[in-house]
Amino acid sequence: MSAHSSDLFGTLHDGTPVHRWVLERDGVVVRVLTYGGIVQSVETPDRDGRVGGVGVGFGSLAGYLDCPGPYFGALVGRYANRIAGGAFELDGRGYAPTRNGGPHSLHGGERGFDKRVWDAEAVAQGVRLSRVSPDGEEGFPGRVEVSATYTLEEGGALRIAYRAVTDAPTVVNLTNHTYWSLGGGGPYELRLAAGAVTPVDGTGIPTGEIRPVDGSRFDFREARVLGGGYDHNFVLDKGVTGGPEAVGELYDPGSGRVVTLATTEPGVQLYTPDGFDGVALETQHFPDTPNRPEFPPVVLRPGEVFESATVYGFGVRGV
């Protein structure tokens, strides 16, 4: 059984309507907003069959407008994560994306993809959001046509597939910023097939080193309890792949819920925020790659197609 529908979720201050799409399949319910491509909620059963939310979000549009900083559930771009100093060079020309994260550009700038209203159309098992990011938006070059397609696969897994094309050389790095809160109070256990991390300076910018996780608090190759204090990019063993490959899972012993993660991307930003219960697993290319030619490339040129996909699966353990 699968279904999808939409309703009016609210309006922006300028009167622009925001719609909410509801996807249902195999006991999983996902709600997606046209504002920011936000995954407003994900509902799944726990080990006792009780259905509850596993993503952090708000019940009204006002919540997102009044609290934009944490990127709750948002579609992040044009460049997810940080670009050092709000500056990079491409083909010998300098660009200055908006500095909105201290001295750096963060998650696409002051009004990135997370704060735009997207067009929506129904597709099989889900909804496709699309928009045109004009040349110069937030300081990024090129007119980019971008889409994000949210579908529920068999078993209720949420697949987010991204696609972008450009009319001029640019950089693209897209992700989803859902915070997973699995309802059992934690502590969570994390497994991540990542043998290295990219260490950062005091402002969250990679030093350029690819550091093995052996013997460190970053070693989640075997499942173990996840503490706080993480805002780091993990280098996935598999690298960039043509289709989503399994890379890890988050488990809550209290509720029995498990979120599995598969992606085409080479990295995952693990973020454990202070102040609320939630874990972000942002599949991505690496932070500051426009200034780090040794990292997997993020340049998109005319005639090329950017494509990536991430699948979040939902299950229970200990039944």
Q: Three-state DSSP class for 267?
A: strand
| Residue span of the structural domain in which 75 resides | 2-316
Q: Binding site annotation covers 150?
A: no
Amino acid at 116: R
Residue 52: per-residue pLDDT: 96
**155 CB contacts (<8 Å, ≥6 apart)?**
26, 313, 314
The closest of 68, 61, 50, 3 to 30, measured between CA atoms, is 3
Contact 17, 11 (CB under 8 A): yes
Q: Which helix (H) or strand (E) holds 159?
A: strand 158-166
How far apart are alpha carbons 307 and 261 in whole angstroms?
18
Residue 319: per-residue pLDDT: 59
Q: Binding site annotation covers 173?
A: no
Q: Binding site annotation covers 176?
A: no
Alpha helices in the chain (DSSP H): 61-66
18-60 pLDDT, tens digit each: 999 999 999 999 999 999 999 999 999 999 999 999 999 999 9
DSSP 39-92: EEEEEEE-TTS-EEE-B---SSHHHHHH--TT-TT-EE-SB-SEEGGG-EEETT
119-176 pLDDT, tens digit each: 999 999 999 999 999 999 999 999 999 999 999 999 999 999 999 999 999 999 999 9
Alpha-carbon torsion, ordered 252, 255, 256, 257, to 10 deg: -70
Amino acid at 190: L
Token readout for 182 is: 């699995």
Active site residues: 177, 282
The length of the chain is: 319
* Domain containing residue 197: CATH number: 2.70.98.10
Domains contained in the chain, number: 1
239-279 pLDDT, tens digit each: 999 999 999 999 999 999 999 999 999 999 999 999 889 99
Q: Binding site annotation covers 107?
A: no
pLDDT band at 2 (very low <50, low <70, confident <90, very high): low
The closest of 161, 226, 159, 216 to 191, measured between CA atoms, is 226
